[in-house]
Amino acid sequence: DKNNLVPFVKKLVEHDFEIVSTGGTKKYLDEAGIKTISVEEVTHFPEILDGRVKTLNPYIHGGLLARRELPEHMETLKEQNITPI
């Protein structure tokens, strides 16, 4: 259900968030005039298995799960060229 997605995402963009999205949601947001980044651009890997596997990737999960207060986590991200999310 994408009913309230556009207003929510517009607020995120107003606060300088970049939006990473997959398939149908990316298309929906793009059509609403919201600039998005394809998850494939982040993972360097296509969606597979009819879209069932999209974000299971260190570029996504490493960026999400790194603890920013731990210098060793941030150093690992830097070494692996992973952007914090």
The Cα–Cα gap between 78 and 72 comes to 10
In the CATH hierarchy, which top-level class contains the domain 5-80?
Answer: alpha beta
pLDDT in tens, 4-29: 999 999 999 999 999 999 888 999 99
Q: For helices 5-14 and 23-31, what crossing angle results, to 10°?
A: 80
pTM for the full model? 0.71
For 48-62, write each residue's pLDDT tens digit: 788 777 878 888 889
State mean pLDDT over 63-83.
94
Where do the structural domains in the chain lie, given as residue ranges? 5-80
In the DSSP assignment, the letter for residue 44 is S
